Structures are given as C-alpha cells and as structure tokens.
Amino acid sequence: MTTEILALDGDRQVTYEIVGQGEPALWFEGGPGFNAALGRGDCEVLADRFRCYLIDAPGTGGTTAPADKRAYGAKGTAAFYEEVRGALGLGPVTLLGHSWGGTVCLAYAALFPESSRRCIAIDAWAACREIDEGPEAQAEMAAVFTRHAAEPWLPAAKEAFEAAFTPDFFDLEDAEAVWSRAWPLYFVHPERPLARQHIARLTRDLRFGREPSRLGDESGYLDDLFVLLPSIRVPTLVVVGDLDFICGPSNAREIARRVPGSELVIVPDCGHIPAYEEPAEFRRIVFEWCDQGHPSSP
C-alpha cells in the first residue's frame, strides 16, 4: 500500500492511504492515536463500493501534530478531517469510523453536515462517563474476562490492557508490543484462523501517536460530543458487536437513541471489530442499509 503525502497551510503535512474503488469515504481510525493503516482490513471488506481515504489524524503516522493539544479532541479532529477533505478536492463523503474513530465520525456528521453523505459509526464510544461507569457497560467489560477465563493468554492480555490506562504507558519504547498482547480481548473467537490473521496484522502495523494516545478526558476528548448527537441530521447507521467489551451495546443503544432517525444493528457472536470477525455480515449490513433508503443525506 502506498502512503501519500498532502501539504497543508502552515508548513503542515498529512499522510494517508487509499483503499478501494467507488464513492469517496473518509475512514476514522480508533485509539485515540492509532495510525490509520490499522483500518485497512475494515476498508478492504467494503472496497468494491467505497474509495476509502485512511488519513492519519493529527500527531499520528506522518501527520503533523497540532500546536494546541486541545485539537486532539473529537471536535478538533473532525475539523482537521474537514480541512483535509477540502484540500483533497472531495465533495460530500460517506463517513466510516470505528471505536474512538466512530466518536470522531459522529462529531464530524454533527459539525459538517454539508460535507457528509451518510454516517456509519462502528462500535463507537458514546463519550459519556455515566454510560462507561453504568452497570451495563461494567457488565460488558467483566464478561470478556469471564468468557476467556480458561485461556492461557488472558493474564498477559489483561495486564497489557490495564497498563495502557496508566499515566506513563506511552512513555514506554515498546508500548506497541505491550499493547498488542491485549488484541485477543477484542475478539470473541481469537483462536479462529481469520481472527489470528488480523491479530498478527494489527500487531505488525500498530504505531501509536504518543501525544494523542496519552491525553485523557481533561484534554478535551469528550468535547461535549454527547450533546451534539441530537443535532445530527445525516442518515446514520450504528453497528456494534453484541459481545464488544469496551464500546459495546450500552454505548451503541444510547448513540442510536440520541441521533434522530438512526438505525442500530447489533451483530451476534461478535466482539469489537465486526469487519474482522463477521466480514460477510458486516458488509451485508452496510451495503443493504446504503441501498435501502440511505443513498445520501437529504
């Protein structure tokens, strides 16, 4: 895959890849701070319909870090993507975002409706502390450790996952290697051949943007996104794995409830990344929704 470089005003640059053919789409990767190339596998599932632009967010990949760290928040990152869309000469685009990228995707749809054809938020975080700390989300988190209790890899995966939320984690030179021990938690069936292929690829390709990854809510990540959701007016699809432990149905239901006219689809027997565990079903869900009354925004 070829990495492209785009120059922006102010002696800044953006790195990105393009996957697929068809109508233009922006891909919003998770993290925060994950490099956009991690979404390559997701976009390949949709590649015969969408020409996906996998754009490294500020401070990730080869994209210039912002002068103001508050620009790492959802609204600041959405504004960055809007600037890049214009610089690329793209008209209205489909929005595709996963996890934290789904959060940014929703913020973009709320802030830039004229640039958005439709919004597809995949296992998105609702950016609401009350949901994260509520009983349903806590049960989703606890279930992943119960489900995999007999697996020999679980202690290392749990330790890596918990370490990633400590203040000095992203100062580690081997943060990517440590984090990668946690990837099996994101799958319901990490032992299956397809899941193992994706875990190996994610481990190989992960490159943290240290600054956006280490910043917490106090740096503006929440950005009042939750209150933006009712203002979204573009067609919106919310997709979530039923056994996602970190951005599961507790988040997806509340997002769908707050976005007017949105549709919620829960993928059975699936974890945090439906495109990897249930690619055929994920593709069907997205394509049928696009075809059945949601070809573009009003």
- Is 232 domain-assigned? yes
* pLDDT for res 201: 96
Tell me the CATH number at 229.
3.40.50.1820
172-190 pLDDT, tens digit per residue, is 999 999 999 999 999 999 9
Is it the case that residue 9 has pLDDT exceeding 60? yes
The pLDDT mean for the chain works out to: 93
- Is 189 domain-assigned? no
**Which pair of tokens denotes residue 64?**
């210039």
- Is 224 domain-assigned? yes
Whole-number Å distance between alpha carbons of 29 and 36: 5
* pLDDT for res 216: 60
Task: Give the domain range for residue 19.
Answer: 4-132+209-291
Q: Strands 236-241 and 116-122: what pairing?
A: parallel
- Is 233 domain-assigned? yes
List of residues 6+ apart from 218 with CB closer than 8 A: none
Peptide bond into 298 cis (omega under 30): no
Tally of structural domains, the chain: 1
**Which pair of tokens denotes residue 195?**
């899941």
- Is 91 domain-assigned? yes
* pLDDT for res 211: 87
pTM: 0.94
* pLDDT for res 223: 65
Sort 48 into a burial class: Cβ within 10 Å, 0-12 / 13-18 / 19+.
exposed
223-243 pLDDT, tens digit per residue, is 678 889 999 999 999 999 999
Q: What distances in angstroms separate CA 48 from CA 11, 24, 107, 209, 288, one per listed residue?
A: 35, 11, 26, 30, 14
pLDDT tier at 298 (50, 70, 90 boundaries)? very low
pLDDT tier at 217 (50, 70, 90 boundaries)? low
- Is 110 domain-assigned? yes
